[in-house]
Amino acid sequence: MANCLTLKKSNCKNCYKCIRHCPVKAIRFSANQAHIIGNECILCGQCFVVCPQNAKEIVDSTEKVRVLLQTGDPVIVSLAPSFIANYEGIGIASMRRALQKLGFADVEETAIGATIVKNEYERMLREESRDIVISSCCHSINLLIQKYFPAELEYLADVMSPMQAHCADIKKRMPGVKTVFIGPCVAKKDEADYYEGLVDAVMTFEELTRWLKEERITLEPEMDQTEESRARFFPTTGGILKTMAQDAPGYRYLAIDGVENCIAALKDIESGKIHKCFIEMSACVGSCVNGPIMEKYDRSPVHDYISVAEYAGERDFQVEQPSPMGLKKNFSMIEHKLEMPSEHEILTVLRQMGKFKTSDELNCGSCGYNSCREKAIAIWQGKAEPSMCLPFLKDKAESFSDTIVNNTPNGLLVLNENLEVQQINQAAKKIMNIRADSDVLGEPVVRILDPGVFVNVKQTGRTVTDQRVYLAEYKRYIEQTVVYAPDSRLLICIMRDVTDEELEHEKKERINRQTVEVADKVVEKQMRIVQEIASLLGETAAETKIALTKLKESIGDE
């Protein structure tokens, strides 16, 4: 089953849209990538339809069909009745001509098989004493019951789908041929693979459109009017009922579309609230005309219904009805369920997600799950991760951010483009003697600071780094860095209080000045002393010279 739907990992962007729309949550997230859980998937194709990144792909069967055409055996197409809604104004004759150009031997409408199936439903209601009968045309609904409601398997009509009944009829009428079903459903690929021998390959309308374009084959507008074609109603909600007589004694006839609605109905059956009913169930809202491969991005359910209604006739196709045994199809339970955690284990996971009390469980659905408990169970089962919880991530990021902002020694001030205060931390409040956040939040910054630097940074886009300024009003010196973030349109000011550094610097300068002054005075005094000493030495030397001269002269006279 997982082979029908694949994933382009590089395209998956963690939007969780696929799991939000998956009615059975058959998607596992690991390493930031979505993975389809094959044994839980019912192949409704909703993940393919809603994925905004085209990360989900349906396996292309075109090459397989090309090989069938090359075998030499005639290949007949069973064309789903929803084709008239997908290819507007193109009747069966025009489709036949186009597909024969691709190499197919012939094209027939699957609605022929729908007539066979409808006849068998009516026989069952008339001849068998069944309480509830659920139509088995939709393979996704069959998988839903097989996997999630096995107790209701007894109510699922054990009858081939129209695709299978028609291909079996073709092979009975034309032994040796191969059959290819073309329609709007991914689940039919799995049905063909699982129930071998009836349908040799399944293509989607998208694959057919692409193939016709490659071969430059143009569909020619042409409509036919065939009264014996009432089963063309089958791909619409209530379409099966429209073809039935609805006259089985004691039975009520209901049509339900959408997996969620079908699940609700199955739960009612399980609880014993419903009896004596024939229930037409379709996985797609609007039934097959709103199938996942109805040219993916071109959906118009009302217009499509009108196209089908106008193309359908008033009477049934002429068919050779097989025996009931020839249409028998057995359904068995498909085991898939993972072990369920205990209440203690669920609470443990909830705590990991930051959910400590019931009021913490927002059940916002951003992760894709319907409730926090459902998400906790998925985490315990290994299908999800705590990081998928958006409120948890938001609170965690805010807590981490707040811890940094409130504990940094630097002041932090955040302004919007109108220069209004958006955030202020404790350090900034201390610098500017602000008592509480509410005193300044939302107020113009001019109330607390000179806005000049902010205006300049906003206009020029140039960051101011480590600009030292004196805040005279607060008697503080700061070094400020002002940054403009154009993406968030915010101005961020980081302030470092350098008052103590500045005062210490001034003190050192004052001491240095005083030291220089003292040194100058000492030098001046020393110079004065030197000069005085020099003067005294000069006088003493002169006197000595005179005395010595006189002594010399006295000695000479002797």
Q: Please, is 479 exposed, middle or buried when counting C-beta atoms within 10 Å of its C-beta (0-12, 13-18, 19+)?
A: middle
Please indicate, yes or no, whether residues 181 and 235 belong to a single structural domain of this protein.
yes
Question: Is 521 domain-assigned?
Answer: no
In 25-177, beta strands by DSSP E: 27-30, 33-36, 56-58, 75-79, 106-109, 132-134
Question: Is 332 domain-assigned?
Answer: no
**pLDDT at res. 181:** 98
Q: What is the largest CA-CA distance in the chain?
A: 180
Please indicate, yes or no, whether residues 230 and 376 belong to a single structural domain of this protein.
no
Distance CA 99, CA 106 (A): 8
Distance CA 85, CA 306 (A): 8
| DSSP codes, 390-450 | HHHHHHHHHHHHHHHHHH-SSEEEEEETT-BEEEE-HHHHHHTT---GGGTTTSBGGGTS-
Which residue type occupies 78?
A: S
**pLDDT at res. 33:** 82
Q: What is the domain-level CATH number for residue 477?
A: 3.30.450.20
Backbone dihedral angles phi then psi of residue 383, each to the nearest 5 degrees: -95, -15
Per-residue pLDDT of the chain (558 residues; tens, 9 = 90+): 446 777 776 678 778 888 889 999 998 887 778 888 888 999 998 888 888 888 778 889 999 999 999 998 999 999 999 999 999 999 999 999 999 999 999 999 999 999 999 999 999 999 998 999 999 999 999 999 999 999 999 999 999 999 999 999 999 999 999 999 999 999 999 999 999 999 999 999 999 999 999 999 999 999 998 999 999 999 999 999 999 999 999 999 999 999 999 999 999 999 999 999 999 999 999 999 998 888 745 568 788 999 999 999 999 999 999 999 999 999 999 987 778 889 898 888 888 888 888 887 788 877 878 888 888 888 888 888 887 777 776 666 666 667 777 788 899 999 999 999 999 999 999 999 999 989 999 999 999 999 999 999 999 999 999 999 999 999 999 999 999 998 888 999 999 999 888 788 778 878 778 877 777 787 788 888 878 887 777 777 667 667 666 666 676 665
Distance (Å) of CA 292 to CA 149, 330, 371, 552: 23, 26, 27, 139
Contact of 21 with 36, CB cutoff 8 Å: no
Distance CA 425, CA 431 (A): 10
**478, 497, 516: which is the final residue of a domain?**
497
Q: How far apart are the first and last CA of the chain?
A: 148
Residue with tokens 């797609």: 284
Question: Is 46 domain-assigned?
Answer: yes
Please indicate, yes or no, whether residues 37 and 147 belong to a single structural domain of this protein.
no
Instruction: For residue 490, count other CB atoms closer than 10 A to its CB.
Output: 15
Distance CA 437, CA 277 (A): 67
Please indicate, yes or no, whether residues 454 and 350 belong to a single structural domain of this protein.
no
Distance (Å) of CA 551 to CA 38, 537, 543, 554: 134, 21, 12, 5
Please indicate, yes or no, whether residues 224 and 323 belong to a single structural domain of this protein.
yes
Nearest to 374 by CA among 19, 103, 5, 2: 19
Distance CA 212, CA 86 (A): 14
Distance CA 144, CA 150 (A): 9
Phi-psi region of 272 (alpha: psi -120 to 50; beta: other; left: phi over 0): left
Residues in Cβ contact with 260 at an 8 Å cutoff, skipping those fewer than 6 apart = 23
Specify the number of domains making up the chain: 4
Angle at 347 between CA 33 and CA 364, to 5 degrees: 55
Residues 150/156/158/164 CA torsion (nearest 10 deg): -100
Please indicate, yes or no, whether residues 49 and 83 belong to a single structural domain of this protein.
no
Q: What is the domain-level CATH number for residue 360?
A: 1.10.15
Question: Is 186 domain-assigned?
Answer: yes
Nearest to 388 by CA among 358, 360, 352: 352
- For the chain, the 3-state helix, strand and coil shares in percent, each to the nearest 5, are 45, 15, 35
Please indicate, yes or no, whether residues 417 and 445 belong to a single structural domain of this protein.
yes
144's tokens: 């839903």
147's tokens: 């996997």
Please indicate, yes or no, whether residues 207 and 167 belong to a single structural domain of this protein.
yes
Q: Please, is 150 exposed, middle or buried when counting C-beta atoms within 10 Å of its C-beta (0-12, 13-18, 19+)?
A: middle
Question: Is 286 domain-assigned?
Answer: yes
**15, 36, 59: which is the final residue of a domain?**
59
Question: Is 222 domain-assigned?
Answer: yes
Please indicate, yes or no, whether residues 235 and 260 belong to a single structural domain of this protein.
yes
Distance CA 150, CA 296 (A): 32
Residues in Cβ contact with 369 at an 8 Å cutoff, skipping those fewer than 6 apart = 19, 25, 375, 378, 384
Q: List, edge to edge, every strand of the sheet that includes 132-134.
A: 132-134, 277-282, 252-257
Which residue type occupies 402?
A: D
Question: Is 247 domain-assigned?
Answer: yes
Which residue type occupies 183?
A: G
Angle at 485 between CA 479 and CA 488, to 5 degrees: 135
Nearest to 277 by CA among 147, 135, 162: 135
**366, 381, 407: which is the final residue of a domain?**
407
483's tokens: 């940054």
Contact of 68 with 201, CB cutoff 8 Å: yes
Q: What is the domain-level CATH number for residue 48?
A: 3.30.70.20
Please indicate, yes or no, whether residues 425 and 387 belong to a single structural domain of this protein.
no
Please indicate, yes or no, whether residues 211 and 319 belong to a single structural domain of this protein.
yes
Could you tell me the residue range of the domain that residue 51 belongs to?
1-59
Cα 415 vs. chain centroid, distance in angstroms? 33
Please indicate, yes or no, whether residues 182 and 110 belong to a single structural domain of this protein.
yes
Contact of 378 with 369, CB cutoff 8 Å: yes
**pLDDT at res. 307:** 92
Distance (Å) of CA 19 to CA 29, 260, 555: 9, 14, 133
Contact of 180 with 202, CB cutoff 8 Å: yes
Contact of 458 with 417, CB cutoff 8 Å: yes
Question: Is 273 domain-assigned?
Answer: yes
